[in-house]
Amino acid sequence: MENLIGWLVAAPLLGAAVLLCGGKRLDRLGHWLGTLLAAASFVIGAVLFLDMLGEDEHHRAMHQHLFSWIPVGGFQADVAFQLDQLSMTFVLLITGVGTLIHIYSIGYMEHDERRRRFFGYLNLFLAAMLLLVIADNYLLLYVGWEGVGLASYLLIGFWQHKPSAATAAKKAFLVNRVGDVGLSIAIMLMFTTFGTFTFGPVLEATGETSEGKLTAIGLMLLLAACGKSAQVPLQSWLGDAMEGPTPVSALIHAATMVTAGVYLITRSGAIFNAAPDAQTAVVTVGAVTLIFGAIIGCAKDDIKKALAGSTMSQIGYMILAAGLGPIGYVFAIMHLVTHGFFKAGLFLGAGSVMHGMNDEVDMRKYGGLRKYMPITFITFGLGYLAIIGFPGLSGFFSKDKIIEAAFAKGGTEGWILGLTTLLGAAITAYYMTRVMLLTFFGEERWRNAATRSPNAPSAEPAAETRGEHAEPHPHESPKSMTIPMIVLAFGSVFAGGLFSVGDRFVHWLEPVTGHDHGDSPLSATTVTLSTVAVLIVGVSLAWAQYGRKPVPVVAPRGSLLTRAARRDLLQDDFNHVVLVRGGEHLTRSLVYVDHKLVDGVVNGTAASVGGLSGRLRRLQNGYARSYAVSMFGGTAVLIAATLLMRAV
Amino acid sequence: MSAVADPVTVHSLWTMAAESPDKFKAPDIEYGQLSPTLIVLGAAIIGVLIEALLPRKARYGAQLFTSVIGVAAAFAAVIGLAVGDYGTSKARVAAEGAIAVDGPALFLQGTILLVSLVAVFTFAERRLDPVAHGNHVDSFAAQAAAVPGGEGEKEAIKAGFTTTEVFPLLLFAVGGMLVFTSANDLLTLFIALEVFSLPLYVLCALARRQRLMSQEAAVKYFLLGAFSSAFLLFGIALLYGYAGSVTYGRIADVVDGEVAEITPALAQTMGNDALLLIGGAMVLMGLLFKVGAVPFHMWTPDVYQGAPTPVTGFMAAATKVAAFGALLRLLYVVLPGLRWDWRPVMYGVAIVTMLGGAIVAVTQTDVKRLLAYSSIAHGGFILAGVIATNKQGVSAVLFYLGAYSFVTLGAFSVVTLVRDAGGEATHLSKWAGLGRRSPLVGAVFAIFLLAFAGIPLTSGFAGKFAVFKAAAEGGAGALVVVGVVSSAVAAFFYIRVIVLMFFSEPRADGPTVAVPSILTSSAIAIGVAVTLVLGIAPQYFLELAGDAGVFVR
């Protein structure tokens, strides 16, 4: 059975190879092949899952050693897999959601002439992501980490004819590099500290290692997680990443890849548990990002960017939970899985709306769409209820647990974190209700948007350039798109309950991550009631603002905060001023040093050699007599030196 | 030498005791082991006879034939001796102690003979110069005795005269070099030096074009050569005074303190270390002059530039091999007991030679002078291997000499091809864009330059690596550092020429590349082949040089 583990990766990898190298003759069948292999990977995962359930809960981890990758002296890197409950959770999420999104993409990308290549990239992503989660050592994990980065880059820039997409891909790639450097430094530190990269030995040895080293490793891992999971301060790429096709946003930039940072921190739990300072950094990052993302989500008119802000915020919850230590690991992963369902569903719904609205993304030009796309409305609506934490749905269970865990951290820290998460929940309710109202309720603003203000400045210039002045005809999407949405809606509704009844998920993951109830100052009921209360506040605020009165097609100027939030809370301006300008100054001064000092030394040496050459050359004056003098003098020196050597 | 060893009893003023006939012992000459030298010298004498007896028209063919056969047969004899284990287990001192037949001698003789064979080809080339009055002419003066620019010269050119004497001169020089590398006593060393130097002086004066410069070069070479010979001879005298013998083995014994008997006439001086040190230094100086080490190098650029290019190539390759052979033997056989005295001195010489050659080459504007300074720098690199004073050092130097001589000969052969109205166009500015106009010639010259610079996959790299490795193992790490630094400086001017050839616009009045006959073509082809083979698969030849690395004493 353990020999099957490698096939999880092999199947999509094969698909990627065939689709990317196969050429045009695969154009007609390529998408089916890609989908089939993704499904095959899911089936393998399911078989392994059933097998794992049959085992005793402490002996569920499976290992497969494929080959020795780099055996050099004390440096031993293997291609070996470890499939335990944590990896298995990810495998099922990745392959399950991945397969659904493959199916969805068949319809969504139907008219794209590069569909085969798109599926090749998707398969490549699946292979890399699976490698990331089933690797049994950090070095192999790094391979997968870079692989998903590559796939993400390729897919964000899939429509590379659009300069904005090409730029967004480049931005994502560059920002991710910063995080990747963190991971590579962490791996190097691990090798010098523990002499190995394998999870088992590294994580077992944390008890005997100095806290300082562990803190350093932990901070570097956090940097890596920030890059991949779009956490402050490396969050800026995620919003722009929405330039990619919507299925990509759903799969990579909502459900799976961006959660790799949470996986990394949870997997390295032993390191963080022994390094409280690093943990504090993790919760801080999580708390800041969860508010940061939520605020951005409130201000965006682009439906995908609003959802991207929400993703950032929800991953902030997960990172925060993971930073809480054993109190939170399980809930971080649980929220990750439920979020995988409802956020993927929301994105697919958004894609479906765009599909029916001539690729319009500005929510101010939507409105009243529930009549025209009922399935999308219902599935999106269920996803909406799940994310805001409507009691009984998935998000309610998982988010509630995180809020509880935050309070359970104890002390002032616990209060701060708990209140932050509650505030986040309120804002989440607000911005998601806003999205819902703007899109599916109210006046049908798309009807005469084109005629009413053809020259009005648009918040989304891209829509203008697409030349869609004709009135859109909203319609429901084809089955290949709606079926995945329906499946995901089921997940959004029931997954949380399924996991929470009888603490199933806790028991499932506990052998790997450990679990601790913590010491909460508030009772579970109090927390739940507060959560519901803030939910009601958020929804009411949004309804007051967007449900009761008509929504202007052109966004009002708004407050200072709104304007800042529209500009992603000035993240790009900050990066530009601090990093780009600073970097330019740095490189300029380096160039200056290089020119004046390094080149000066080099050129100076060359010039002095040349000058010396010219001077020595003058000794060669062509007169035999002076040559003879030189020889005579040379001989004298030779003799003198020989005698001197003897004398010494 | 043994004949005069016994003091003769004097009975009266007028008579002396007749030695009994049985006391005279005929010298024992191992003709077989001396055959390479004897064959070459025999061929040279035949060459002289050809000049005397054959009609002018027939001489060229006969000379070429004799030279090629002579050199090839001598090479075959060397191979025969090497196969017969004379280089290793049967190594011995022949000809009453005058000539050593051992590994280094055979290796170097083989190298010299191969180089000479290729040099014969370049000497015989008659397709490069424009046809003069219906005659194909070579690089040598029509009539050497005619005054440059005078009536006699014009008549000689009109008559289509050529100096076919260059072939026997070359053979005599080769014969001298063969003895030079294997000389086992100081007098033989000196005589061999003169035997190969005198023909070279004459050859240098024989250029067909720019005869005045050629003659000036020859005179300079002769004067300075005589000057250095005087030092060498004086050094020999001092060493004789020290050791009571000129044989290498005996001197070495005395240096080591194992002297058996003291010659009464030399009782005052024998064992006096001042004589040893001063004499040793003077003999060294004589050899360093031939090697072209700084500060005894000053003849090199002038002579290399003035001499006919085929002669320059021959000198640069073969003389260097012969001189380093003699130097190695002197230092490893005669003066090993003195190495704590000469090593630091040679250290200094090697450093100034490497740096001096490389630095002055940077500002040269003439290809031949550039190659002359390059040869000085390379002399310094080889000295680094000499200073290693270990077996690897000997092997590395042997290998380096073999590799370097073919690169040098090939490079000078290419120089003969690039011509304009005034003969060879040696000014570097005229070489601009040459690689674009004649890609093949440019590429070949680039290969030689890269080999000079020591770029991997050329013989220059393998040689330099072997020499530096031996020097480092021999405890001369600082020398290796200086060597690498000078290599870097040297790489600059080699690569500059490549850049000039390939990345500059060709000049409108640029030179043309003459199409050579099979002779020069094969010389260049052999050079390229050896350069690449020794660069890509040097192992066999390194092992060969390794096997040949032990001197006989």
Q: What is the pLDDT of residues B116-163, one digit of tens each?
A: 999 999 999 988 888 777 788 888 988 888 888 889 888 888 888 889
Q: Please write the tens of the pLDDT for every residue from A368-377.
A: 888 888 999 9
Q: Do A609 and B298 touch (CB under 8 A)?
A: no
Chain centre distance of CA B39: 19
**pLDDT score recorded for residue B48:** 96
Helix (H, G, I), strand (E, B) or coil at B112: helix
User: Mean pLDDT, to the nearest integer, of A28-43?
Assistant: 91
Best A617, A621, A648 residue to mutate vs chain B (most B CBs within 10 Å): A617
Residues of B with CB below 8 A from A616's CB? 356, 359-360
Q: Report the residue of chain A nearest B360, measured CA to CA.
A: A613
Q: Sort strands B92-94 and A75-83 into parallel, antiparallel or unpaired.
A: unpaired
User: Mean pLDDT, to the nearest integer, of B355-373?
Assistant: 93
Chain A contact present for B234, CB below 8 A:
no
Chain B contact present for A448, CB below 8 A:
no
Q: Do A634 and B295 touch (CB under 8 A)?
A: yes
Smallest CA–CA separation between A629 and chain B, in Å? Answer: 10
B21 located within any domain: no
Contacting B residues, span 11-50, partner chain A, CB-CB under 8 Å: none
CA distance B232 to B238: 10
Residue of A627, A637, A641 with shortest CB distance to B224? A627
Chain A contact present for B289, CB below 8 A:
yes
Nearest to B320 by CA among B530, B527, B125, B177: B177
Structural domain that includes position B210: 30-547
Phi-psi region of A518 (alpha: psi -120 to 50; beta: other; left: phi over 0): left
* Share of chain A residues as helix, strand and coil, in percent rounded to the nearest 5: 75, 5, 20
Q: Do A641 and B278 touch (CB under 8 A)?
A: no
B419 located within any domain: yes
Which amino acid type is present at position B45?
A: I
B288 located within any domain: yes
Q: Under a CB-based contact definition with an 8 Å cutoff, are residues B458 and B550 in contact?
A: no
Smallest CA–CA separation between B92 and chain A, in Å? Answer: 31
The CB-side HSE value for A481 (13 A sphere, CA atoms) comes to 27
Residues of A with CB below 8 A from B374's CB? none
Mean of pLDDT over chain A: 87
Smallest CA–CA separation between A600 and chain B, in Å? Answer: 17
Phi-psi region of B433 (alpha: psi -120 to 50; beta: other; left: phi over 0): left
Q: Under a CB-based contact definition with an 8 Å cutoff, are residues A432 and A345 in contact?
A: no
B37 located within any domain: yes
Q: Please write the tens of the pLDDT for every residue from A445-488.
A: 877 655 444 444 444 444 444 444 567 788 888 888 899 999 99
Chain A contact present for B215, CB below 8 A:
no
B4 located within any domain: no
Q: What percentage of chain A exceeds 70 in pLDDT?
A: 96
Q: Report the residue of chain B nearest A608, measured CA to CA.
A: B359
Q: Please write the tens of the pLDDT for every residue from B432-442.
A: 989 998 999 99
Q: Report the residue of chain B nearest A605, measured CA to CA.
A: B489
Residues of B with CB below 8 A from A633's CB? 295
Q: Under a CB-based contact definition with an 8 Å cutoff, are residues A337 and A528 in contact?
A: no
Residue of B273, B298, B341 with shortest CB distance to A630? B298
Q: Report the residue of chain B nearest A644, measured CA to CA.
A: B341
Other beta carbons within 10 angstroms of residue A238's beta carbon come to 28
Q: Please write the tens of the pLDDT for every residue from A572-584.
A: 788 778 778 888 8
pLDDT at B445 over 60: yes
Q: Is the peptide bond before B295 cis (omega within 30 degrees of 0)?
A: yes
Chain A contact present for B457, CB below 8 A:
no
Q: Do A638 and B281 touch (CB under 8 A)?
A: yes
b/e B174-195 (16+ beta carbons within 10 angstroms → b): bbbbbbbbbbbbbebbbbbbbb
* Domain count along chain B: 1
B15 located within any domain: no
Residue with the larger pLDDT of the pair B2 and B181: B181
Residues of B with CB below 8 A from A608's CB? none
Helix (H, G, I), strand (E, B) or coil at A410: coil
**pLDDT score recorded for residue B260:** 64
